[in-house]
Structure 1
């Protein structure tokens, strides 16, 4: 029989959320195999030629490649692994050149920290590139490296490129497979959404569809950004993603109807998903039930359109690529990214925040003798990476993960003889990194720590003497990040959900206004809906991050969830009303639409002025039989929400 915690010993919710492992997909076995080979092979080669230190440096480079080996599409793997390796090589080169130069090294690493923090806002690849730029600069400035100055960056880059080479081995046989699988998975999530119509599971299924659509469009459009021509395969994938949009739009109307759809409807979508995954074209036997009512006709028309696109022999590229616009050239996109970073106040704040912490750490270890002092700055780099989530949460998990990793490292360093046994140990330890990383940052830290210590021992031959300095330096880095990078910044104590939600509510008002009228652009309206749901998905992510913060930030963030759900329902209700109008229901008057939009804009302005939700007037009126009546009810519910949080709770 389980027993509850005594009242005084019950852990707070924010601590429980930090310590809970994340729901992770099945272990990526190819990534596990690549990690084992890429990190142990350089050690074996180094031992074979009598240069184990060189092998350890190449394995360090492979470690950064393993951390960046997260993309499914092969073209994305090139960017995710190769580009950061170039920045890492530049970082270790600069660090090695200023090694032992006192305050010059402090200034150089601090400047690199500023650049690293600023470029993190460009995108995922730039973020990892900035991370490796700073990490390797810290290593080069704090650790005496063997050989001439050019050898270390060459070895570390070679280790990272080994991971890339292993990741691309199957490309000739599986080109396009990850993209097709992503689109097929999106169709399957839509099938689950149709199954959930009229049931309590609808909201959860809708969130899954939003995330899947985001991932699929990001994957396909990222590939498109490198194709200036009209790739037939790419055109087909985009057409298939666009074709499922009317089905997604019809789902809110079906859910609003309150009755489950016939089983044949989601079954047909799953058949289409299977056809997409195997690349089937041509006739496909599908069982479409006879539609009943406005909702049934909307679902039937959308489903038949999707089936036509999926089974079509050819897709007109002019209707797909041209409508999306020709991607800008690489140098134009690079110029735009650099301009945005230079002019962004947020990127400057993040960069200065990271640079300040790194500068203090480097100055501290220059004044106070600290063994292996570069670990302090390494810890800050991982904890304070501004786009990686809650600083407080990462500092906590970093400390706990380091302790767990040190336990494993103590066993390895004490029991494993130096030499070829190190290769065997690496074969066992390296696969834990891709296996545990999806579980959360603490698990990743626990997996990386023994690997780093094993490589450090090969370079320094200190054995278990590395353990205590590693723990002390990690705790020092966490403390600096928490105090200088978290507590001293006012923005750390404010949940950023409110401002983002206010923007989403204002966009929802524009979505409502654009949804009805004789000149409605259906394609533009579909893009608005996708953008709205993408923004709301990002808000949910920010909401989950804020819940891991200690009071009062976490408590304030929790108050926003009901309104996030309410805004999602408003978007759904608007979409359902549009579907009904397109199926023959009377369109609402412009006055009705303007009234709803006005109420939403008033709510948006109210959200910008306070972090504490409060109820506002809900005097929405209109014909009871109007298609906008469900929408008015959802807007009234959103405006009537009162937060359980108040300043007295601090």
Structure 2
């Protein structure tokens, strides 16, 4: 139920309709074959799986939906087995929520989905279990997730089908271009498939930065390969080994575009031939040959299932086995089993607040008491920025949603399929309000959860005030555990420093890209980017002031960190003053792509919940060198571009210094 807010962003209407249909199907099956809270469990599991299926990932949601169906069924199994025993149920809910909190070590989506499975557990009605009721509820919850997988198979998302077709055409075209360039270095690369590919991934810069690094590589990598092939072809007349390299690259690109059963093995053999050819080129062509080799490795890794390939040294082409994934997850979670870890502290806070909420519900006879742990699960995050503000905002939004749902309940008294219809309508509304912030999303989700619970018609008689009181108790518990167990002060400072670095770099990337792509409303866009950086700087200084330490190393680091960011701000201000009204029409494609690569290296991957945002200094330095190489061909009148190159050098030196 709770995974929805982070999962929907400008959703495909067909995929959204498919997910909502799955919720209705699961609710209908649950009402027909289940009893007690089984229908709610089935519909809730379908809602969580449907929300996960809407995540913007070109890999397809089928595997994810199937994998999360199992823990959802396990949560329902534990809940129905222990719900009649108050003490045991409290212990089970506490342990489950601790494990759910630790899932943030893997990713934000993993943490949200794990918390949503906790919502399935804590809403289990306190009914004496029987073997048939436990099995039925568990199977229906499993089926609620799997019905989404079935619908995905029957009704695949059209958007990704179109994008995969565009990727296939782009790589096939690049393979043909590589062959033509090997025969005639003066042949122009066909730009149409590359433009069509980028159009199929239409995203704003803000949306693109929220996507995983692998997502952005899908549409950016073919363009970079095209530029590298063209640059190598220009040197083939003086170096015959370059021709062999282009032909070997053509084979790899053709394999990436193919769907043959032997494609994976052929790609591995092709990469080896590319590397062998790269070793024979003249010394002056080695950097270009190595760059092409790395790009082809990344293309192969993306094609054959590497989840987040890096720009260098991608060596594993096969899909990860289930055992490998489990081992990787266990290692990631184990690395956060230290007292300073914000993930561990979040897990303890989540478990303590949820356990306390379940205890109050079961032993204090609070009407609609399940809203206490539900509210805790909805509002708690491993956040360091604006923690209390966001907790209070989510609680306020939840209260509004509960009040709105209660009005419908008092007027209509929906249950069964009527409640399911209302839940589906409100879940659809969540997609419409997903861009309006966390308060609006909290309100819509709270209303949807209220209707999902009403499907089984097992809720006790109470008033709207009772629901609101229970939600406020849960919100108070969430804030209280943050007060009792805050994040470690140095960890909080580190996180705020990462947030400041991210927003400052976002500002720099916005200015830099404006030189080659322009901005629709440059004044507004640059002012908004600077405003975000300014707010992050204020939060960082507040965290620095609240950190009590006598460490000289920390004081020296703070001084160098502030100085470097001030220098970046100065460079960006210089760039703003030199920003042309329109990008120069004489800029070469190589220079534009080099700028794009640099901006991509600056933006990095989305922030991990368990670690501060950081920068790959080596990658940024390499991208800056690419710009210098491309800038050698700038014309004498490209003054603005020369200023850009100089200021990028200053920005790079400052940022690499911070990274070191």
- TM-score when scaled to structure 1? 0.56
Partners of 1:159 and 1:452 in 2: how far apart? 16
From 448, 453, 456, give the equivalent of 1:451: 448
Q: Which has the higher contact order (CA 8 A, sep 6+)?
A: 1
Partners of 2:487 and 2:302 in 1: how far apart? 49
Q: Which residue of 2 aligns with 1:413?
A: 409
Partners of 1:355 and 1:318 in 2: how far apart? 38
1:554-582 per-residue CA deviation (whole Å, 9 max, x = no partner) reads: 9999x998677669999879745543346
Partners of 1:319 and 1:432 in 2: how far apart? 34
Q: CA deviation at 1:552?
A: 4.1
Q: How does 1:428-577 map to 2 (within 5 A)?
A: 428-460=425-457, 465=462, 467-486=464-483, 488-491=485-488, 494-497=492-495, 499-500=497-498, 552=542, 575-577=623-625
Q: Is 1:240 matched with 2:226? A: no
1:114-152 per-residue CA deviation (whole Å, 9 max, x = no partner) reads: 211112212356324422342223223767779621211
Contact 2:75 2:121 in 1 (8 A): yes
Q: How does 1:314-353 map to 2 (within 5 A)?
A: 324-327=314-317, 329-344=321-336, 345=338, 346=341, 347-353=343-349
Partners of 2:80 and 2:534 in 1: how far apart? 40
Partners of 1:632 and 1:74 in 2: how far apart? 35
Q: Which residue of 1 aligns with 2:62?
A: 78
Inter-CA distance 484–387: structure 2 relative to 1 (3 Å threshold): closer
Q: CA deviation at 1:543?
A: 7.0
Q: How does 1:73-472 map to 2 (within 5 A)?
A: 73=57, 75-123=59-107, 126-140=110-124, 148-171=133-156, 176-179=161-164, 214=213, 216-217=215-216, 240=222, 242-243=224-225, 324-327=314-317, 329-344=321-336, 345=338, 346=341, 347-386=343-382, 391-416=387-412, 418=414, 421-422=418-419, 424-460=421-457, 465=462, 467-472=464-469
Partners of 1:626 and 1:548 in 2: how far apart? 30
Contact 2:44 2:120 in 1 (8 A): no
From 580, 584, 593, give the equivalent of 2:628: 580
Q: CA deviation at 1:77?
A: 0.9
Inter-CA distance 463–113: structure 2 relative to 1 (3 Å threshold): closer
Partners of 1:81 and 1:153 in 2: how far apart? 16
Q: CA deviation at 1:639?
A: 12
Unaligned 5+ runs, structure 2: 171-191, 232-253, 259-284, 305-311, 506-528, 547-557, 573-597, 603-616, 634-641
Q: Is 1:62 matched with 2:46? A: yes
Unaligned 5+ runs, structure 1: 1-20, 193-203, 221-236, 250-275, 281-300, 508-538, 586-624, 642-650
Partners of 1:411 and 1:456 in 2: how far apart? 15
Partners of 2:568 and 2:644 in 1: how far apart? 23
SS at match of 1:326: coil
Partners of 2:197 and 2:534 in 1: how far apart? 24
SS at match of 1:415: helix
Partners of 1:502 and 1:425 in 2: how far apart? 42
1:82-105 per-residue CA deviation (whole Å, 9 max, x = no partner) reads: 222211111121222222323332
1:169-221 per-residue CA deviation (whole Å, 9 max, x = no partner) reads: 233977753456699999779999xxxxxxxxxxx987777566825257x6x
Contact 2:18 2:155 in 1 (8 A): no
Partners of 2:153 and 2:136 in 1: how far apart? 25
Partners of 1:319 and 1:464 in 2: how far apart? 54
Contact 1:82 1:164 in 2 (8 A): yes
Contact 1:390 1:545 in 2 (8 A): no
Partners of 1:93 and 1:240 in 2: how far apart? 47
Inter-CA distance 325–549: structure 2 relative to 1 (3 Å threshold): same
1:225-250 per-residue CA deviation (whole Å, 9 max, x = no partner) reads: xxxxxxxxxxxx79616527869x9x
SS at match of 2:124: helix
Q: CA deviation at 1:484?
A: 0.9
- TM-score when scaled to structure 2? 0.56
Partners of 1:59 and 1:425 in 2: how far apart? 12
Inter-CA distance 99–49: structure 2 relative to 1 (3 Å threshold): closer
Inter-CA distance 187–213: structure 2 relative to 1 (3 Å threshold): farther
Partners of 2:301 and 2:653 in 1: how far apart? 43
Partners of 2:66 and 2:152 in 1: how far apart? 11
SS at match of 2:462: helix
SS at match of 1:82: helix
- CA RMSD after TM alignment: 5.6
Contact 1:453 1:466 in 2 (8 A): no
Q: CA deviation at 1:478?
A: 1.2
